[in-house]
């Protein structure tokens, strides 16, 4: 039998496998692989725990965000109502103030009109009395003048009483 190179490769391979088994390399590889599998399972379990905790935290954060949005909406609605009420109140105050100023101006105009009319009446009465005095003094003698003056004075007083009443 001729021993060729493939025979020696087969013998070398069997010796190599025998050495691996003798040195317990497959068990060590199995142990290392089992340890890696265990580590990966532990990491998966840990990541699952972290994922569930993250989901809980996300749910809590979302609930807080929803609450904050609701509170924000309520605050905005209240601010809108308050601003509308303030606008209405300010508008009412403005109109009341304008009405009051209008009434005061009208009253002042009426008072000024009445004062002007009284002043005109007083001035016209004074002019009439002065005119009557002048006419009487230039056209009538003193005794007739005294009688006429007394008579006109009484008539003028009566007319003034009527006007002032």
Q: What is the pTM of this model?
A: 0.43
- Quick one: average pLDDT of 75-79? 94
pLDDT tens digits, one per residue of 29-74 = 889 999 999 999 999 999 999 999 999 999 999 999 999 999 999 9
| Residue in 121, 134, 124 with CA at minimum distance from that of residue 163 | 121
Q: What gap in Å lies between CA 82 and CA 88, rounded to an integer?
A: 10
Average of per-residue pLDDT values in the chain? 87
Determine contact, residues 101/113, Cβ cutoff 8 Å. no
State yes or no: pLDDT of 165 exceeds 70.
no
Task: Give the pLDDT score at 121.
Answer: 84
Kindly give, in sequence order, each residue whose CB lies less than 8 Å from that of residue 145, ignoring residues fewer than 6 positions away. Answer: 136, 137
Q: What gap in Å lies between CA 58 and CA 11, rounded to an integer?
A: 64
Tokens describing residue 110: 């009426």
pLDDT tens digits, one per residue of 86-138 = 999 999 999 999 999 999 999 999 999 999 888 888 888 888 887 877 776 67
Task: Give the pLDDT score at 150.
Answer: 81
pLDDT: is 165 or 127 the higher one? 127
* CA dihedral (37, 38, 39, 43) positive or negative: positive
State yes or no: pLDDT of 1 exceeds 60.
no
Domain boundaries, the chain: 36-164
Q: What share of the chain is helix, strand, coil (3-state, %, to 5)?
A: 95, 0, 5
């Amino acid at each position: 039998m001729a021993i060729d190179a493939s025979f020696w490769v087969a013998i070398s391979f069997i010796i190599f496998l025998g050495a691996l088994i003798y040195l317990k390399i497959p068990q060590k590889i199995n142990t290392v692989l089992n340890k890696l599998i265990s580590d990966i399972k532990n990491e998966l379990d840990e990541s699952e725990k972290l994922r569930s905790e993250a989901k809980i935290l996300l749910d809590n954060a979302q609930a807080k965000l929803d609450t904050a949005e609701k509170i924000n909406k309520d605050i905005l609605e209240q601010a809108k109502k308050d601003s509308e009420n303030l606008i209405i109140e300010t508008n009412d105050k403005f109109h009341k103030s304008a009405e009051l100023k209008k009434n005061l101006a009208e009253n002042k105009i009426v008072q000024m009109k009445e004062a002007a009319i009284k002043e005109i009446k007083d001035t016209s009465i004074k002019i009439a009395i002065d005119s009557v005095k002048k006419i009487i003094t230039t056209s009538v003698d003193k005794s007739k003048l005294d009688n006429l003056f007394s008579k006109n004075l009484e008539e003028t007083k009566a007319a003034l009483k009527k006007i002032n009443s």
